[in-house]
Structure 1
């Protein structure tokens, strides 16, 4: 009799266990189906579907971990919900690496600054191309060129990231395989910058077409800011946006708030546009307006993600 009772009890426990797990799997797959419909995803085979479903489940765990580590920010499923780490790495094209510089920061010496209005809240999308460095360099060039010419409320001419992708081939800069903003400003010291209209973005490595850009502007070189010196970078921000590099390894699912926990391997070129002077800086990304806070992310002001470790601006 005792054996029968034990068997019944174990069977009940196993039934409850399997029911729970079936329910959990069903909930995960239901969430994945919602993700597919929301972002209009399609997969060419059952194998691809299963592969992306596993990536989706893994990303849910990463999101939970980021929300735990960053209590002032929020992370959630977005357009990158079925991406693997290898997929995300394709978007991280800064090739400068780690700087290992100590952070210098005196909070009382920071003046608030905000240039985010210059683009009228439009954020570009680099696509699946490691061209972030060209978007960072271009955004700062077009903003500072506008400011120099008296346009402090909006940018009048947008310039061509594709020109930089196609025409700059150096040790550190190789188009969609990554690069650095300093190479862009060296190039633009000797070549005209073509407008986006005349040399539109393709998101692939193409053939250099400098003949399109004979009438564009140049810069007069660049100024590199002291590595790790937050005050120097934010002082320069009062003159206009700054091209910076960050560690964006864990940014994929950011949706809002202030990120305070980050790694320190510089791998992504972005644009510093704003600081409140006490708590955060705002970064303009190049993953489109649907990502983050209308295409932007806020970081803790004390050099979170290394935003002050590799900063540069063009001279005019």
Structure 2
């Protein structure tokens, strides 16, 4: 009897020892599980089966650890990260879904851009009394950034240059501009979108609403927007800085590091162009202000700021529509 009690006592001591050694790990796991549960509730996530649930939890945990490591880095960061709507996507999944810009071979990095320094005043088309800035849109899980980049530039510039306001259809471009070498939710190019609009006009969003998926072109829809006469390509930071003084610009960027961006000025970025956005301003210190298409809850009310110069390859292949 004494021996059995002794054995039980030893087992209890051993269990207590193991508990004490693993308390922090258990606590961390509980914290992560709570974060995950709250995140799922916030973004209304539901998964089809337990296997998918387990996989998404692992991806979420990996992303959480990545963000924690970012904040533990001794380097002074100029921007912040968060567990946003992409927290259950691996970097590969994120890139396959959102970073599918079809960049032509003619788009090349300009070595002269590495020495560029902005010396002008601040410009911000999101806060200009002469312009009714349109709400940031969300492309959803469709690789249509190119269409949102083109439409964003068209809507804002038409207001700036022609004093006319439109809410235009990205879906028209997704469904109908295939003959212009665009590929709907699998990617496209802003210049090709401008060419399509110049030749065919463009429908308004109310007549051709966005579905976030490829569809059959609705040829019978009215296309009253007929203001595009062509487009102009830009190949230097200097010309980009000059152009933003007068209008917004469709730009191609490397958005790989953007997945969990929350706020601040992002400075570390490669130049593998994969995402289409709209340049809507520049700060006095040269930081670029970008309008994205991942919804207004992402980043700074749907925007991101990039450090001055050719950060993320922003100066490699900008363009804007010629309106009339």
TM-score, with length taken from structure 2: 0.87
2:6 counterpart residue number? none
Q: Write out per-residue CA displacement over residues 149-187 of structure 1, whole angstroms, 9 at most, x where no aligned residue.
A: 135xxxx21111001001111585200000110101111
1:261 equivalent among 268, 276, 284: 268
Aligned mates of 1:293, 1:260 — CA distance in 2: 16
Alpha-carbon deviation of 1:22?
Answer: 1.9
What is the RMSD computed on CA atoms of the aligned residues? 2.5
Aligned mates of 2:52, 2:273 — CA distance in 1: 31
Q: Is the aligned partner of 1:199 residue 2:203?
A: no
Aligned mates of 2:161, 2:69 — CA distance in 1: 44
Aligned mates of 2:147, 2:315 — CA distance in 1: 18
What pairs up with 1:270-309 in 2 under 5 angstroms?
A: 270-309=277-316
2:196 counterpart residue number? 187
Structure 1, 74-83 or 38-47: larger mean CA deviation: 38-47
Q: Write out per-residue CA displacement over residues 109-161 of structure 1, whole angstroms, 9 at most, x where no aligned residue.
A: 4342111144546210000000000000011012112222135xxxx211110
Q: Is the aligned partner of 1:94 residue 2:101?
A: yes
What pairs up with 1:70-149 in 2 under 5 angstroms?
A: 71-89=77-95, 90-96=97-103, 99-102=108-111, 103-107=113-117, 109-117=119-127, 118=131, 120=133, 122-149=135-162
Aligned mates of 2:221, 2:12 — CA distance in 1: 80
Structure 1, 252-261 or 95-104: larger mean CA deviation: 95-104
Q: Write out per-residue CA displacement over residues 180-212 of structure 1, whole angstroms, 9 at most, x where no aligned residue.
A: 101011111211111111111111111112321
Which protein shows a greater Rg? 2
Alpha-carbon deviation of 1:19?
Answer: 2.7
Alpha-carbon deviation of 1:56?
Answer: 0.4
Moved segments of 4+, more than 6 Å: 7-12
Contact 1:70 1:260 in 2 (8 A): no
Q: Write out per-residue CA displacement over residues 69-101 of structure 1, whole angstroms, 9 at most, x where no aligned residue.
A: 671101011111111223312012212178343
Contact 1:139 1:271 in 2 (8 A): yes
In structure 2, the gaps of 5 or more residues are 1-10
Alpha-carbon deviation of 1:64?
Answer: 3.3
* Corresponding residue pairs, total: 306
1:64 equivalent among 65, 68, 73: 68
2:245 counterpart residue number? 238
Alpha-carbon deviation of 1:20?
Answer: 2.6
